[in-house]
Structures are given as C-alpha cells and as structure tokens.
Copies of this chain bind each other. A is one copy, B any other.
Amino acid sequence: MLPFKIQLRSIIATTLTLSLAVSSFATLAADKIYRLKLAETWGPNTPILGDASKNMARLAEEMSNGRLVIRIDSANKHKAPLGIFDMVKSGQYDLGHSSSYYWKGKVPNTLYFSSMPFGMISTEQYAWFYHGGGMELMQKVYAPHNLLSFPGGNSDIQMGGWFKKEINSIDDLKGLKIRIPGFAGEVMARVGAAPTNIAPGELYTSLERGTIDALEWVGPAFDLRMGFQKIAPYYYTAWHEPGSETQFLVNKKTWEKLPADLRTILETAFRVAAFDMYTQAIDANANSWATMSAEYSDIKVRDFPPQVLEAMQTATEELLAEQTNHDPLAKEIIESQKQYLTKVRAWTDISSKAYLNN
C-alpha cells in the first residue's frame, strides 16, 4: 500500500481553498518521512551480522508505513569499519551497527557489553540486559557521548579457535603465536602466549606457513569458508566469547526528534532484529558444523585442560580487578555482571546443563 501521505497530498493539491489546512497537515508527525542513515562495521552482504540491520530497517519501514526510511551504508561505502562510534556520535550518521568492544581503546567501559571471557552465555546475558540492569549500565556508558546503545544481535557462542598442535598444559601456551585481538588477547598474553592481530585476508596463509600457530575467528558459520580446518586440526571449545552481542547505536539528537510511535517502532525493530540474528546464528552454526564435520572428519574438538582454563580465568580476573581499581563505573558494571552470573548460572546448571548432560 502506498503510504497515506501520498493520498493526502493529492487531495490537498486538488483543493485550493485548503491553504490553512495544508500548513497544519504539513506539521503533523504522522505525515512526515524520517530518512535515517545507518553505518555498519561489516562489508556489504555479510551474512548474519549484515542481516541484522537489513531486517531492522525493513521492519521499521513496514511498521511505520513508510514514515521511517533507513539507508544502510556498509564498510565499502564509508571506509571506516571501526569508526562507527565516532560517526554516530558526531551526527554524520544517525544510526550504527557494530560491536561495543571495538571502542574499548576510546571508552574502556564499552568493553563489557559484547561478551566477556568466562562470562554469561547469550540467553543469560539477554536476561541481564533486559531484567538485570544491563541496559541501564550500558546507557550510563554511552550517554556522555551523545549516544544510545541497544543489543544488536548475538552471533552465538564463539569457539576457542583452531590450533595446529594439541594444548595439554599451560606450558604448551608459552610463546604460542596466536591471532586473538582485544581483551582475550591480553588474557592470552598474561598466561604466556604471544597474541597478535592479522588482517582477515592473510589469516589462512599465516596459519599455513607457520607465521602463527593458532587463531580464533568466530564459529562454524563464519569459519567454514575460511578453510582453517584444512591446516589446523584441533578445534578448541569456548572460553573467551560465550555470548557475543553486537549493538545498535543511535545519535541522541536523532532520537529526540522522532515522534513517540516511531521511537517505539525503532526500539522494537532493534530488539527483534537482535533476537532474530541470534536464532539465525544458531541455525547457521548448526548447518555449517554439520557440513564441516562431515567433510573434514579429521577435526578434533578439544576442551582446554582444566589447568589452562584456571590460568586463563585467573588472568581474566586480575585484568578486571585492575579496571575496577581506578574506575567506579567499571567496578559497578563488573560487579553487576559477576553477581548476575553467579545467580543465573546456578539455575542454568540445574536446568539446561543438567538436561544436555542427561
């Protein structure tokens, strides 16, 4: 159906006596089209991550009957995949889709809203965001930057990565050259590994030639086409990103100029697109793992030994303690997550975990 405003305007155009009414209509919120621009970190047509914004924009446009029109610029257009925070903060873009931990160098407390090593799994984390105070803490971090932030879709639990050799003890990590960026890389460094960051296009060759001994990428849905299974047979289970949430960013001035119904439409479209990305990621991981494990029967799925996991968990806690020491807001967020995790995991243990083990 063509939107109401088109029909309204044709009536107005043919009724010249209505000049007073015309000016009144023009100011009505229900008649105005809001054209918003969104910048995303991902390249064009990136599956799963890139589908979240497309689904969100389509829903917002349909629910608003064409009053909300969102143009999506992928990284090839704006050339600043890691500049989303700045571009939405400045108002160059109204909206962004990215991942909160990309801004930890700029605003350290953004780190905590993506996923934390040994932290909550996706469902626990959604419960924390929406019912355990997570949303409020996220706004506290983003508000000083003229931004609102919303969960933007979960890419599901991430695997621990591909290793050429089996890890049997903490000694096997000493000096290990592993591609693992960000906070998890800091943890790896603290237990003796040599973390490094390498451009995605060079990962396969680096691993093949021995420039690196191991790498973490995402999970089967993203790993399959990268081909790491052909050259590094050990696929380690999760520890560092148990529930990786992306984010929608909104410029506060854009938000404030939207009428109430369009705000609710936008917020709801964010929320549904986020949940939908999560179920899509589960489905894609299940399909890709089925393909991968059938075609490459040599893949050896391994858990890190308890000694290694303990060392990495201790390193995580030490690094977090350093944050809480000099930043009261970091302390508040870390403690909120820790308390919620303790409570919700006790339930997960007797429910999902017990069921899956039975």
Taking a contact as CB atoms under 8 Å apart, the answer to whether A260 and B7 are in contact is: no
Taking a contact as CB atoms under 8 Å apart, the answer to whether A282 and B65 are in contact is: no
Taking a contact as CB atoms under 8 Å apart, the answer to whether B11 and A21 are in contact is: yes
**In the docked arrangement, what's the CA distance between A309 and B85, Å?**
51
Contact with B along A178-189 (1 / 0, CB 8 A): 000000000000
Taking a contact as CB atoms under 8 Å apart, the answer to whether B132 and A283 are in contact is: yes
Contact with B along A304-316 (1 / 0, CB 8 A): 1010010000000
With a CB–CB cut-off of 8 A, which chain B residues contact A121? 352, 355-356
Secondary structure class of chain A's binding surface, majority of residues: helix
In the complex, A217 has a CB within 8 A of chain B: no
Taking a contact as CB atoms under 8 Å apart, the answer to whether A63 and B261 are in contact is: yes
With a CB–CB cut-off of 8 A, which chain B residues contact A235? 350
Task: Select one of B157, B269, B355 contacting A157, CB under 8 A.
Answer: B355
Tell me which of A34-42, A74-82, A200-208, A340-348 binds B.
A340-348
Say yes or no: A355-B275 contact (C-beta < 8 A), given A63-B265, A261-B62, A289-B346. no
Taking a contact as CB atoms under 8 Å apart, the answer to whether A356 and B356 are in contact is: yes
With a CB–CB cut-off of 8 A, which chain B residues contact A30? 4, 30, 65
Q: Which of chain B's residues has its CB closest to A10's CB? A: B24
In the complex, A327 has a CB within 8 A of chain B: no
With a CB–CB cut-off of 8 A, which chain B residues contact A356? 121, 348-349, 352-353, 356
Taking a contact as CB atoms under 8 Å apart, the answer to whether A131 and B280 are in contact is: yes
In the complex, A272 has a CB within 8 A of chain B: yes
Tell me which of A138-146, A167-175, A236-244, A328-336 binds B.
A236-244
In the complex, A123 has a CB within 8 A of chain B: yes
**In the docked arrangement, what's the CA distance between A275 and B275, Å?**
7
Taking a contact as CB atoms under 8 Å apart, the answer to whether B283 and A65 are in contact is: no
Shortest distance between the CB of A3 and any CB in chain B (Å): 8
In the complex, A195 has a CB within 8 A of chain B: no
Taking a contact as CB atoms under 8 Å apart, the answer to whether B351 and A157 are in contact is: yes
Q: Which of chain B's residues has its CB closest to A59's CB? A: B268
Taking a contact as CB atoms under 8 Å apart, the answer to whether B354 and A238 are in contact is: yes
**In the docked arrangement, what's the CA distance between A286 and B347, Å?**
5
Shortest distance between the CB of A24 and any CB in chain B (Å): 6
With a CB–CB cut-off of 8 A, which chain B residues contact A132? 283
Task: Spell out A's residues near B (CB within 8 Å).
Answer: 1, 4, 7-8, 11, 15, 17-18, 20-21, 24-25, 28-30, 59, 62-65, 121-124, 126-127, 129-132, 156-157, 159, 219-220, 235, 237-239, 242, 259-261, 264-265, 268-269, 271-272, 275-276, 278-280, 282-283, 285-287, 289-290, 293, 301, 303-304, 306, 309, 343-344, 346-358
Instruction: Give 24 A-B contacts (CB < 8 Å), ordered by A residue.
Output: A4-B29, A7-B24, A15-B20, A30-B30, A30-B65, A65-B259, A121-B355, A126-B275, A126-B279, A127-B279, A127-B280, A127-B283, A129-B279, A130-B276, A220-B347, A242-B355, A265-B265, A272-B272, A282-B347, A303-B357, A303-B358, A304-B358, A352-B356, A353-B356
